[in-house]
């Protein structure tokens, strides 16, 4: 954590205040009322106690004394209720802040490139952004422990010094003692100032040291927190339950959680010991101040320079001033700490996508040609390229079967085409225009893809197919019918509005792998993009079932350009051409019949699998 920087902290605080104001003006308003009422409350009892004590000593009537009592209770009640009401409202409005911060993190994650989200460094940034917006550095803590503390403590100092002004007045006295002359001199107030400065310096040093330790502990636990969050998710997500139980993995998961826990505990134990020792110094400084204050004010009262009631006011004011100074130091130190936490949040929001997009948008209903020119690609942290100098042209309306062994580069080729990744060398063009020239929105509209590891979400079947909360219901039902899932949907109690999976607030139903595949295919059909891609979504099925689904899907997409990917031969017979990938390069291209005659890799794969398709 960087050293305390006044100018930098002011700049960062202004940035945070702007964020808070944009997010919830009501939160800001209730926070200000809270701070003002909090600063007033301690002085109400001090001021009226002084009035009541002096009234008793001076022999004022019971009615006059009780007027002070009633007034004190009334004012204290008013500010107490004001504080509590605004505290409650402020807590309610705090939800707006939390939702806004989390929403911004989620939206920013969506805005980043797919490759960035996969990157470990960016994942680290995301985790730090989340840590920066939790109780250790969130906006609610920021206002509760920093801004409100600074504002109310500043007001406390102002009230306190106003009450102490009369303490330095020179009084007439019959005593001519040296001690009386000293405490009755205006400069005697320096005694109080020195006693205030001493604990202030100690508190400043201690807070700076403690906050550095706190920050180091928090940052040191980032990776452990991320790992433990993952393993807790594994424990609570029922989709992992079968494998964990059947393979008796509970011990392994528990060991990982325990290891993370021990690392975190070790770090925070050291921090706790450090804080306990240093805070003892702060207590010592405050006790010395209290001793000096009582001696100074007590002597003035003893020699008749002030009234007994004044003793209550002055000692209370000095104590509150000391507390106010300590609070300001504490709050400013926290300000430095929380600004550092929140800076991680702002740093994450400032990460820019690396991929650049153009503004080209064409008629989505026209025919398209795709061309790969000398495309090479290597995954991060790998030495060997996955694709090596791939050259391929896919004609408008053409159906291509992309086949090859596992790891040949088939899916990578599709991810590059969808611009989830960027080629290391070479380029990909649509209608002779590089992908980078097209707008992001247009490229997303271009492709309907069903990946092997497709994901459905714990929403309704309708929302999963539409990929939205709103859409064309007739089109949804048509897509469901074409994908072969409509009859199953019709048997469900809530039909198309049935929630799937148990991760929603509303109870959902479990669906089979085959049903999930059909919903994913229905989603691709509903999107109705000009280029359709099936990337082995049925790999878990037997070869014949897979072939039947591919053939049915082929009839549904009619004249659209389509790419069927498999390490099996389920889609090759009805495709215009077959592209065989082997170790990242195109090994063969041709029709099904042509490649059978060539006696190459394709022919060997076909012969090995032919029995499944007869």
Residue from 267, 243, 307, 289 nearest 54 by CA: 307
Rounded (5°) CA angle 477-481-483 = 115
pLDDT of res. 2? 46
* 469-497 tens-digit pLDDT: 888 889 999 999 888 888 899 988 888 88
Q: Are 499 and 458 spatial neighbours (Cβ–Cβ below 8 Å)? A: yes
Which whole-number Å values give the CA distances from 346 to 101, 133, 135, 341, in the listed order? 10, 10, 17, 9
Question: Is residue 8 helix, strand or coil?
Answer: helix
CA distances from 385 to 115, 173, 380, 393 (A): 16, 95, 10, 21
Question: Domain 6-221+273-349 carries which CATH code?
Answer: 1.20.1560.10
Distance CA 471, CA 476 (A): 8
> Per residue in 526-541, is it b (16+ CB within 10 Å) or e — as a string?
bbebbbbbbbbbbbeb
Those residues whose C-beta lies under 8 Å from the C-beta of residue 449, and which sit 6 or more positions away, are 414, 418, 524, 532, 533, 535
Domain ranges of the chain: 6-221+273-349, 370-612
Q: For residue 381, what pLDDT is reported?
A: 79
Beta bridge partners, 534, equal 450, 564
> In whole angstroms, how far apart are CA 332 and each of 5, 94, 209?
10, 22, 13
Q: Is the pLDDT of residue 302 over 90?
A: no
Q: Where are the beta strands (DSSP E) in 386-483?
A: 387-394, 399-403, 425-430, 433-434, 447-451
CB 48 within 8 A of CB 72: yes
Of 183-197, 249-263, 348-362, 485-499, minimum mean pLDDT range: 249-263
Exposure class string for 201-229: b at 16+ Cβ within 10 A, else e: ebbbebbbebbbbbbebbbebeebbbebe
**Residues 6 or more apart whose Cβ sits within 8 Å of residue 572:** 401, 403, 564, 578, 592, 602, 606
Count Cα atoms within 13 angstroms, Cβ side, for 254: 6
* Higher pLDDT pick, 579 / 224: 579
Which pLDDT score, from 0 to 100, does residue 539 have?
Answer: 61
Is 410:563 a contact under the CB 8 Å cutoff?
no
Which pTM does this prediction carry?
A: 0.67
Q: Three-state SS for 341?
A: helix
587-597 per-position pLDDT tens digit: 999 998 899 88
**Residue found by looking up tokens 């802040």 in the block:** 97
* pLDDT tens digits, 540-568: 566 666 677 777 777 777 778 999 887 76
Highest average pLDDT, of 10-19, 60-69, 333-342, comes from 60-69
Tracing tokens 């029995």 back to the chain, one arrives at: 611
pLDDT at 375 over 90: yes
Q: How far apart are CA 202 and CA 332, in angstroms?
A: 14
pLDDT of residue 385: 92
What are the Cα distances from residue 225, in Å, to 105, 127, 230, 267, 349?
18, 9, 9, 12, 21
Under the banding of pLDDT at 50, 70 and 90, the label for residue 428 is very high
| Residue 17, pLDDT score | 80
The values of phi and psi at residue 56, to 5°, are: -65, -45
- What dotted CATH number matches 370-612? 3.40.50.300
> How many other C-beta atoms are found inside a 10 Å radius of the C-beta of residue 179?
11
SS3 of 73-115: the string is HHHHHHHHHHHHHHHHHHHHHHHHHHHHHHHHHHHHHHHCCHH
Average pLDDT along the chain: 81
CA 431, 434, 438: angle at the middle one, nearest 5? Answer: 90
Contacts (Cβ under 8 Å, ≥6 apart) of 357: 436, 438, 439, 440, 443
| Residue 146 per-residue DSSP state | I
Judge whether 358 and 439 are in contact, CB under 8 Å.
Answer: yes
CB 455 within 8 A of CB 239: no
Residue 577 CA to residue 375 CA, distance in Å, equals: 20
Higher pLDDT, 583 or 225: 583
pLDDT of residue 367: 86
Q: Residue 556 in contact with residue 548, Cβ under 8 Å?
A: no
User: Helix (H, G, I), strand (E, B), or coil: what is residue 503?
Assistant: coil
**Angle, CA of 191, 193 and 194, to the nearest 5°:** 65
Rounded distance between C-alpha atoms, residue 174 and residue 144, angstroms: 51
Task: Tell me whether strands 577-582 and 585-590 are parallel, antiparallel or unpaired.
Answer: antiparallel
Pairing mode, strands 531-535 and 425-430: unpaired
CB burial readout 287-296, b (16+ within 10 A) else e: eebbebbeeb
CA 500/CA 463 separation, integer angstroms: 10
- 432: phi > 0 → left, psi -120 to 50 → alpha, else beta; which? left
Q: How confident is the model at residue 396 (pLDDT cuts 50, 70, 90)?
A: very high
């Amino acid at each position: 954590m960087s050293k305390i920087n006044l100018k930098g902290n002011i700049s960062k605080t202004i940035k945070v205040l702007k964020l808070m104001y944009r997010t919830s003006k009501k939160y800001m308003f209730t926070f200000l009322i809270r701070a003002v009422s909090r600063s007033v409350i301690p002085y109400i009892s001090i001021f009226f106690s002084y009035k009541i004590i002096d009234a008793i000593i001076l022999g004022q009537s019971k009615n006059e004394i009780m007027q002070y009592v009633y007034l004190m209770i009334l004012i204290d009640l008013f500010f107490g209720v004001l504080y509590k009401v605004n505290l409650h409202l402020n807590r309610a409005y705090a939800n707006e802040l939390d939702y806004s911060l989390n929403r911004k993190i989620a939206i920013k994650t969506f805005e980043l490139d797919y490759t960035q989200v996969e990157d470990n460094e960016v994942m680290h940034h995301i985790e730090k952004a989340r840590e920066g917006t939790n109780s250790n550095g969130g906006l609610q803590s920021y206002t509760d422990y920093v801004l409100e503390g600074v504002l109310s403590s500043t007001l406390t100092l102002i009230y306190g010094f106003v009450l102490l002004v009369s303490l330095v007045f020179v009084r007439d006295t019959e005593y001519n003692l040296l001690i009386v002359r000293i405490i009755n001199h205006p400069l005697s107030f320096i005694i109080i100032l020195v006693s205030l400065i001493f604990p202030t310096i100690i508190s400043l040093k201690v807070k700076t040291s403690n906050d550095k330790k706190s920050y180091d502990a928090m940052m040191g636990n980032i990776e452990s927190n991320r790992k433990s969050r993952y393993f807790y998710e594994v424990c609570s997500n029922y989709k992992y339950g079968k494998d964990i139980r059947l393979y008796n993995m509970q011990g392994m998961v528990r060991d990982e959680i325990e290891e993370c826990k021990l690392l975190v505990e070790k770090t925070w134990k050291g921090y706790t010991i450090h804080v306990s020792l240093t805070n003892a110094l702060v207590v010592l400084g405050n006790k010395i101040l209290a001793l000096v204050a009582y001696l100074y004010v007590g002597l003035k009262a003893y020699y008749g320079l002030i009234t007994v009631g004044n003793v209550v006011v002055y000692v209370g004011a000095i104590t509150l001033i000391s507390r106010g100074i300590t609070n300001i130091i504490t709050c400013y130190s926290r300000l430095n700490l929380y600004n550092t936490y929140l800076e991680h949040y702002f740093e994450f929001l400032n990460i820019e996508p690396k991929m650049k997009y153009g503004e080209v948008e064409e008629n989505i209903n026209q025919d398209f040609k795709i061309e790969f020119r000398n495309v090479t690609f290597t995954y991060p942290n790998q030495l060997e390229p996955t694709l090596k100098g791939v050259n391929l042209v896919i004609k408008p309306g053409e159906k291509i079967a992309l086949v090859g062994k596992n790891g040949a580069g088939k899916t990578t080729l599709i991810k590059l085409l969808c611009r989830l990744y960027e080629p290391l060398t070479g380029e990909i063009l649509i209608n002779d225009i590089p992908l980078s020239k097209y707008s992001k929105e247009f490229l997303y509209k271009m492709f309907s893809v069903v990946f092997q590891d497709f994901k459905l979400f714990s929403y309704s079947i309708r929302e999963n197919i539409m990929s939205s909360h709103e859409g064309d219901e007739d089109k949804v039902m048509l897509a469901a019918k074409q994908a072969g899932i409509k009859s199953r949907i019709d048997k469900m109690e809530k039909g198309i509005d049935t929630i799937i999976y148990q991760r929603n607030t509303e109870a959902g139903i479990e669906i089979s792998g085959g049903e999930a595949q059909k919903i994913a295919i229905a989603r691709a059909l509903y999107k109705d993009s000009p280029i359709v891609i099936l990337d082995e979504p049925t790999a878990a099925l037997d070869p014949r079932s897979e072939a039947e689904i591919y053939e049915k899907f082929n009839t549904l997409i009619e004249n659209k350009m389509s790419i069927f990917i498999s390490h099996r031969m389920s889609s090759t017979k009805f495709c215009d051409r077959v592209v065989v990938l082997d170790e990242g390069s195109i090994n063969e291209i041709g029709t099904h019949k042509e490649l059978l005659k060539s006696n190459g890799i394709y022919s060997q794969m076909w012969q090995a699998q032919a029995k499944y398709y007869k």
